[in-house]
Amino acid sequence: FLKALGLSSRPQPSNPRPVPSELWRIFQREWAESGAGAGLCRVSEYGVEGNIIRVLPNLGDCVPGPELEPTPPVCVDEWLYFNLSVLEEVEELTLAQLEVRFQHHSYPAPGSKGASYTLSIHKVLGTGLRGMELSRKLLISQSFQPVHLALLFNLTEAAASWRGGGRNLGLTLQVAGEEAGQMGGEGTEVGAEAGADVGVDVGAELGAWVRVGAAVDVGGGRCAELAQGLKVTLVVVTLNRQQCRASRRRRSVFSLPAVFSHVCQRRRLYLQFRDVGWQHWVIAPQGYMANYCYGECPFPLSDRLNGTNHAILQTLVHSNHPTATPQPCCVPIRLSPISMLYYDNNDNVVLRHYDDMVVDECGCR
C-alpha cells in the first residue's frame, strides 16, 4: 500500500510543513463529492486532469547553487530549486504553478497608489564559472503591487523540460523597483509569449486569473520588507492513470444490517489510521468507513448475493459434495475511492486520490 502511494517506506516527518489552505479546500471538496460519483481524477480548481497534488518547497537555501547578490534597484535576486525527482515515472505532469507571496506588514490603502515593482523569473541554463554571470532565459516579467494575494505563474513547460531529460538547474527570481524597467534584454521572450500564464490568486477560486500592474515611485523601506517576507512554493499536479479508472457511484446511504446475519453481506468497519500507526504522517482523514465482506454463500444463491454463474454451480456441487468442494467466497464486488492528505518521505504535503478504498457491495464469487 505504501508503494502505491509513492512511498519507499513509512514516512517519519521531521519538519512537517503546514498544509496550504488551497489543499484543504480541494481535499474537503473531493471528500464531499467522493460519494456522488464525481470524477476525482480532475482538479477543477486548476482546470487540469490529475489525481495527485504536491506542494514543493523552495530548496534554494538547502541545495548548493549559484550565489546571487541583489544590487540596487533590485530588491530580490533569489535562486529557486524544486525537487521534481519525488514524482514517479508513471505520473504525467499536467500543471506546475509557481506561487509567490510577500509576507510584509504594510499594504497600500484601498484606492491609493502604492509602490510598484517588476518581478522577473529566469530559467537557469548554466551556472558558469565563479564570478561570471549566469546563463539564463527570461520566462516572465510582470509588474505588480504588493497585496494580500499570491502571484501565480504557470511553469508547466519549464518543469516538463526538467522531467524530459533536461538538467534541472532551477530558476532565479528578481524583484526590482519599477524604474528598473524590463530586464529581459533584446530578443528575450517575456510573459505570456514564453508560455507562462501570469495571474493573481483572488481567493474565491484558484482558477481565477487577472492582470496586475501599475507605475508609481518605489519606496526604499518597502523593498527591504519584500526581500525579508518572500515565500515561494511550486504546486505540482500529476496524473497516474493506473490509479484513475472510471469513477463509480458510491451508495449515498450505507444499507448495513441492523441484525447480524450469517449470509454474505457488507459489514461495518471504521478504520482509524492511529490503529495502524499512521497518524504521524496521514494528515486527513483521521479515519474512514472502509467496511468489509463476511458471510456464507449458501445454496441456492439468491439474486441479493450477487453470485456469478460459476458461483451458482459451485454452490450446487458443494450441496451434493460438501467435503470435496468449498462454498464460494464472500468478497467485495464494488469499491469506491477516497482522497488522502499526507506527508511523503521528503516532508512534502501531498493530496492524492486513491481508488478501491471503500467496500460498497459484496457478492459470492
| Model pLDDT for residues 2-43, shown as the tens digit of each residue | 887 778 899 999 888 889 988 999 999 888 876 554 566 889
Q: Are residues 286 and 353 in the same domain?
A: yes
More confident residue, 285 or 32: 285
Q: Are residues 30 and 72 in the same domain?
A: no
Does residue 333 lie within any of the structural domains? Answer: yes
Of 198, 213, 243, which residue is a domain's last?
243
Does residue 72 lie within any of the structural domains? Answer: yes
* pLDDT tens per residue, range 45-67: 999 999 999 999 999 877 666 66
Does residue 214 lie within any of the structural domains? Answer: no
Q: What is the Cα gyration radius of the chain?
A: 27
Does residue 97 lie within any of the structural domains? Answer: yes
What element of type H or E holds 33?
helix 21-33
Number of residues that this document lists for the chain: 365
Q: Are residues 238 and 148 in the same domain?
A: yes
Cell numbers found for residue 237? 499536479
Does residue 298 lie within any of the structural domains? Answer: yes
Q: Rounded CA gap, 44 and 39, in Å?
A: 10
More confident residue, 355 or 98: 98
Q: Are residues 295 and 265 in the same domain?
A: yes
pLDDT score of 45: 92
pLDDT score of 116: 82
Does residue 192 lie within any of the structural domains? Answer: no
Place 275 in a pLDDT band, splitting at 50, 70 and 90: very high
* CATH number of the domain within which 32 lies: 2.10.90.10
209 has a pLDDT exceeding 50 = no
pLDDT score of 216: 33
Q: Are residues 72 and 21 in the same domain?
A: no
Of 243, 271, 292, which residue is a domain's last?
243
Q: Are residues 31 and 102 in the same domain?
A: no
pLDDT score of 215: 31
pLDDT score of 191: 41
Q: Are residues 65 and 25 in the same domain?
A: no
Q: Are residues 237 and 264 in the same domain?
A: no
Q: Are residues 323 and 239 in the same domain?
A: no
Q: Rounded CA gap, 217 and 225, in Å?
A: 16
Query: How many folded domains does the chain comprise?
Result: 2
More confident residue, 246 or 344: 344
Of 195, 215, 243, which residue is a domain's last?
243
Any residues with CB less than 8 A from the CB of 279 and at least 6 apart, and which?
273, 286
Q: Are residues 69 and 125 in the same domain?
A: yes
* pLDDT tens per residue, range 52-110: 999 999 998 776 666 676 666 788 888 999 999 999 999 999 999 999 988 755 455 55
pTM of the entire predicted model: 0.79
State which residues form the domain around 352.
12-40+260-364
Round the average pLDDT of the chain to a whole number and report it: 80
Does residue 248 lie within any of the structural domains? Answer: no
pLDDT score of 214: 31
Q: Are residues 34 and 58 in the same domain?
A: no
* pLDDT tens per residue, range 225-266: 777 778 899 999 999 988 876 555 544 444 555 556 899 999
pLDDT score of 218: 44
Q: Are residues 139 and 231 in the same domain?
A: yes
- Average pLDDT of the residues in 328-338: 94
Does residue 207 lie within any of the structural domains? Answer: no
